[in-house]
Structures are given as structure tokens and as C-alpha cells.
Chains A and B, each alone.
Chain A
Amino acid sequence: SAVISQKPSRDICQRGTSLTIQCQVDSQVTMMFWYRQQPGQSLTLIATANQGSEATYESGFVIDKFPISRPNLTFSTLTVSNMSPEDSSIYLCSVEVLTGTLNEKLFFGSGTQLSVL
């Protein structure tokens, strides 16, 4: 398993500002992911955070808006830039853990609830 600490747990931000969300894992993991979950909705994958290289973004998400860092195998950050009220959402960090003969499992942090005024 993996224990994920995500900070901050919640924040209220002003339009036009940026917020950086931190994700710390208690063990080294290869794959880290950032998801967004809008109120009452399912999870949407934003990007895969690759250690030592640029993140891989999903359709509809761009690096200028959601820059990601992955300096080592236990840590990643997601920045939500130039925020607007439409960015109000829960942002979740996730890691992949390989489990022997089974496929990988995803472990999630508790999320960052972001409200943009």
C-alpha cells in the first residue's frame, strides 16, 4: 500500500491567483497522477507526473494552466494557475502500486478542495 499526504486540504482563492498543491508519498513510486473531481461528478485525469521529465497531459488540460513538478519518486506538485471560478473543484493526487500478479492499484490522497471566488 501507499500513504499519501496532500496539502493543503482546502483553500479559498481569489480569481487570477495561483495555488500549488503538494503530494507526498511514504514510499517510492514510479507513477503519480493528478485528478480533478468537480462537485457531484466523477474523477477526470489531468496528467501523469513523470519523474525526471515533463508531465503527460490528458486532452483538455495544458501545462500552462496546470504545471506539474515531479522532482523525485516520492513527491509531486500541481499548480492551478490564473484561477477562475470554473477551477473550483477537488484535486486528487494518486499513485500506482504494483501488486504482484495482479494489475496495479491506485492509491489516492484525501484531496484538496479548492474554491475560487
Chain B
Amino acid sequence: LAKTTQPISMDSYEGQEVNITCSHNNIATNDYITWYQQFPSQGPRFIIQGYKTKVTNEVASLFIPADRKSSTLSLPRVSLSDTAVYYCLVGEVADKLIFGTGTRLQVFP
């Protein structure tokens, strides 16, 4: 099972781009990289998923280098409502996904 390492916390200001990097050195060939967002008193919410290179959706971008040993979640122009905990998960099947410590992002006005 691939273990992930993320910064415990990050601070940013409204309008800035935020990049959260996750290390997963022992990622397996069939593993995908998925990011979730969790607000207080809510369950985690899917943000983005990728296997390699770059993935972009309406919420974020995910950059994955060729060796796939890390990934970077990029949130463009954050707002106060982006204050949340962000989890990076690596795995092939859902019942083997392990939630790491997550990154607590605080956005200031």
C-alpha cells in the first residue's frame, strides 16, 4: 500500500495560487492518485484524479511527473471558501485506500 506524505498545513491569501505537493515514493504501477477536500462537519469530497502527466477540471489541476513518485494539487486563485483539509490518496481499489494526515489549508482575506 502506497503511503503518502503531505505538509501538515499551509497558509495563503485570497486570489493566490496554492500548490500542495504529495510524496508517494512506493506508488505501484496500477495505482491512481486522487485528491479529496474536507470541510468541517462534512465528509470528504472528490476533487481530482489522475494517473500521469497533467489533469485539469473546473476546480483544480493535478500535476504528476514521469516517475509518479509525487503529485501536486494546484488550486488557482483561492478564496476563503477553499479553507479545508486536502487529502492525497494513492491506490488501485477503494478498499485499500489509506487517508494520510492531509494538509490543512487556511486562506486569509
Contacts and interface: CB of A to CB of B under 8 A. Distances in A.
Contacts, number: 56
Interface string A28-51: 000101010000001111001000
Interface string B76-104: 00000000000100001111011111100
A33 B87 contact: no
A103 B43 contact: no
Interface stretch (A62-70, A71-79, A109-117): A109-117
Contact of B99 (A31, A42, A103, A113): A42
Looking at chain B's contact residues, is the secondary structure mostly helix, strand, loop, or mixed?
loop
A113 B40 CA distance: 12
Interface residues of A, number: 24
B35 to A, nearest CB: 11
Nearest to B32: A103
Given A31-B94, A42-B102, A113 B32 contact: no
Interface of B: 32, 34, 36, 41-46, 49, 51, 87, 92-95, 97-102
